[in-house]
Structure 1
Amino acid sequence: MEDAVHRVQSCPDRRGLPRRRFLAGMAAGAFLSGTGGARAFAAGEGLHFVHAFGETTLPKPAERVVSLGYTTQDPLLALGVRPVAIRQWFGSFPHGVWPWAQPLLGDAQPTMISGEVSMEVVAALAPDLIVGIGSGISEAEYAVLSQIAPVLMQPVGLPAYGMAWDELTRTLGRAVGRSARAEEAIAASRRKFADARARHPGWAGQTAVCAYNYGGETGAFSGFDTRASFLAELGFRPPQALTELADPNVFYTPLSPEDLSPLDADLLVWISSSDVVSDIVALPMRRTLRAHKEGREVLAGALVAGALSFGSVLSLPFALEQLEADIALALDGDPATMVKSAAAAGLAP
């Protein structure tokens, strides 16, 4: 289910034992020799980062960046840095760059890294920084990559995919020597959400949920997930029933198919991996929800769902631009416009 609703919130190790032993051996060599990666820079002055796998120091702001995080190409492009390599997540857009970021890529043609990270490919690119935040790489892989170039990982205590979009942008801004530009990009995104809240003061305090249905399982995005954060940025709060069920350390909350009542909020946003929502429309218990009966549902189809999944400094404002009018119609209190909105989304009662 995770592969569909968040694509790579976790990346289980499917490699064979010999590969793992190879990585472990390489990692031990890096730490014992004291000559590889981040350890080699520790004696000099530079940009210092403490993270989940240790410490990394850059002798100077990075210029050739390999982006191994599944979404870290977005903040790098927002900073004016075109990565020399990008990790493929999902979608069929050229070079793994989605529409909200494509203008910033220009004519650059970064190498695409799909699936398992090839150490040989990364080494051949001669990077001076490898971004491992949000990549799901293991500590052994981190150690091998650190022999190629300094590697950045998420802060201590955070899950692999749990770094907030603003802190990620700020961290990468430091690493590439563009902190001022990072703050400008963060402020610009926050202004767009502040402007939306000002246009719709009635949203403050109302309840809202981003829900999914995939493979027979229905649930809600919750906790540190970017889709839940998107709603919070607009002033919404989750319904109490969902809050009581949610695990704050897990990004989604599955529900019993016989009881979808925790989804009953003032606003129900369905996240779909396609623009075909017949599986959502066919849910029997959906018909029991007041949000459905009163036309307070909104569909985030494939493109907007992708933007919410990326949850970046570039993609979140894009999602807001695409969804604001639909949310406003769903919550305007006029049954005629609410039903019309639901019909247009393919979610009519």
Structure 2
Amino acid sequence: MRNPLGRSLVSRVLTATVAAAVALTMAACGQVQDSSSGAGGGDATTTSVDTLFGAVEVPADPQRVVALGWSDAEAALALGVQPVAVSDWLAFGGKGVGPWAAPLFTGTPTILPTLELNYEQISSLNPDLILNTRSDNSKEKFDELSKIAPTVSAPPGVTIQYGTSWQQQMQQVSAALGKKDEGTKLIAKVDAAFEAARSANPNFAGKTVAVGAFFSDSYGAYVDGDSRVEFMKSLGFVNKPEIQALSKGQSFYEQLAREQVELLSADLTVIFPLGGDATPLKTDPVLNQIPSAQAGHLLIMEDPTLINAFSSGSTLGTKYAIENAVPLIKAKTAA
């Protein structure tokens, strides 16, 4: 059953992060019988992919790909592969991917739930490969999905939920699809776009940044391992140490009490609403009195498409965000 929340799927992930135990309980429902060998036992018709849960043998030429992880579908599309089903993490609607990726679909995929996986529905799609590279890293979910088809999760070493970088995602997906060379080229193109942005804006280097969100009348800040923070770091910024110090090493996001809002003040503050418009941010006297706001260094993102690209963590979405966010960032750091 489709997740009933109608707002951005980012907000659903934040809810799941706060209540991870609930999400794991939800994942346990609808289990299926084992119909796949999962990992191990590779031969000439399979490719081995290293994952957080060990090596997984995937078919050399998968035909029916189910993309469950956050922006996994966009990674597959960038490589010329059209998943038969996708999870719409950012609530795009339509084909379940951003407008920078949707035209690459020639058909309309089945849209699947996100946090509450429907294993029976996934099994009915007869996948020969499941992509789940950016997720909550649940071993229970991995085990259930592996009963259906070989499942490629986050790579080894990713400990933060949804902490797979866009580079790692492309590496995992391209390896699983037998398109490593194409994946390497796509990564190089995005790296080149970041390099061009850094070269054009040398004043970004070493400046502190605080990336925050506003959801359900409360604020939060993103920490290292989150795609938005890594985006800013790729431009030369440094995540504000006082915010990074809040991290417990498991979540990409830390909630802030009202009295902690000033922690968002940095050389540049980037903040956006989740599942709503930016009016509360523009009119909040607490946010607008922090030093970075007073100095003209507060960037409130308003465009939902740009917010989603900034949050996508895919090669396609990241490229769109570089093209459209960097001019806004430049304007707020010029003073």
TM-score bucket of the superposed structures, by smaller chain:
0.7 to 0.9
Structure number with higher relative contact order (C-alpha < 8 Å, ≥ 6 residues apart): 2
- Is 1:36 matched up with 2:41? no
Aligned to 2:306: 304
Cα deviation per residue 1:195-239 (whole Å; 9 max; x = unaligned)? 011111111111111112222322321121111111101101123
* 1:6 positional shift: 4.7
* 1:166 positional shift: 0.5
Match of 2:259, SS state, is coil
Contact preservation (8 Å) 1:223, 1:249: no
* 1:18 positional shift: 11
Segment drifting more, 59-68 vs 139-148: 139-148
- Is 1:324 matched up with 2:329? no
* 1:90 positional shift: 3.2
* 1:171 positional shift: 1.4
Match of 1:218, SS state, is strand
Give the counterpart letter for 1:317 in structure 2: K
Aligned to 1:74: 74
* 1:310 positional shift: 1.4
- Rounded to whole Å, the distance in 2 between the matches of 1:16 and 1:171 is 24
Segment drifting more, 185-194 vs 214-223: 214-223
Question: Could you say if the C-alpha distance between residues 111 and 4 of structure 1 is closer, same or farther in structure 2, counting changes exceeding 3 Å?
Answer: closer
Aligned to 1:226: 227
* 1:274 positional shift: 5.1
Match of 2:196, SS state, is helix
Aligned to 2:90: 90
- Rounded to whole Å, the distance in 2 between the matches of 1:50 and 1:15 is 25
* Structure-to-structure mapping, 1:94-105, within 5 angstroms: 94-105=94-105
- Is 1:113 matched up with 2:112? yes
Contact preservation (8 Å) 2:221, 2:253: yes
Question: Could you say if the C-alpha distance between residues 127 and 330 of structure 1 is closer, same or farther in structure 2, counting changes exceeding 3 Å?
Answer: same
- Rounded to whole Å, the distance in 2 between the matches of 1:114 and 1:238 is 32
- Rounded to whole Å, the distance in 2 between the matches of 1:212 and 1:180 is 36
Cα deviation per residue 1:150-171 (whole Å; 9 max; x = unaligned)? 1111234424411111011011
- Rounded to whole Å, the distance in 2 between the matches of 1:140 and 1:81 is 27
* 1:325 positional shift: 1.5
Aligned to 1:343: none
* Structure-to-structure mapping, 1:1-349, within 5 angstroms: 6-8=11-13, 10=16, 12=20, 20=28, 23=31, 30=34, 36-39=36-39, 42-45=41-44, 46-105=46-105, 107-115=106-114, 116-136=116-136, 138-159=138-159, 160-273=161-274, 276-301=277-302, 302-333=304-335
Structure 1 residue runs without a partner (length 5+): 334-349
Give the counterpart letter for 2:330 in structure 1: A
- Rounded to whole Å, the distance in 1 between the matches of 2:147 and 2:260 is 52
Match of 1:77, SS state, is helix
Contact preservation (8 Å) 2:59, 2:129: no
Segment drifting more, 133-142 vs 315-324: 133-142
* 1:3 positional shift: 7.5
Give the counterpart letter for 1:220 in structure 2: A
Q: Give the length in aligned residue pairs.
A: 322
- Rounded to whole Å, the distance in 2 between the matches of 1:89 and 1:117 is 12
Contact preservation (8 Å) 1:259, 1:285: no
- Rounded to whole Å, the distance in 2 between the matches of 1:16 and 1:266 is 38
* 1:52 positional shift: 2.9
Task: Give the fraction of aligned pairs with identical amino acids, expressed as a percent.
Answer: 27
Q: TM-score, normalised by structure 2?
A: 0.85
- Rounded to whole Å, the distance in 2 between the matches of 1:286 and 1:203 is 23
Contact preservation (8 Å) 1:38, 1:55: no
Contact preservation (8 Å) 1:223, 1:252: no
* 1:246 positional shift: 3.4
Question: Could you say if the C-alpha distance between residues 119 and 263 of structure 1 is closer, same or farther in structure 2, counting changes exceeding 3 Å?
Answer: closer
- Rounded to whole Å, the distance in 1 between the matches of 2:147 and 2:244 is 44
- Rounded to whole Å, the distance in 2 between the matches of 1:313 and 1:164 is 10
Contact preservation (8 Å) 2:8, 2:90: no
- Rounded to whole Å, the distance in 2 between the matches of 1:217 and 1:253 is 11
- Rounded to whole Å, the distance in 1 between the matches of 2:150 and 2:296 is 51
- Rounded to whole Å, the distance in 2 between the matches of 1:267 and 1:18 is 39
Segment drifting more, 276-285 vs 96-105: 276-285
- Rounded to whole Å, the distance in 2 between the matches of 1:42 and 1:153 is 18
Question: Could you say if the C-alpha distance between residues 279 and 311 of structure 1 is closer, same or farther in structure 2, counting changes exceeding 3 Å?
Answer: same
Match of 1:37, SS state, is coil
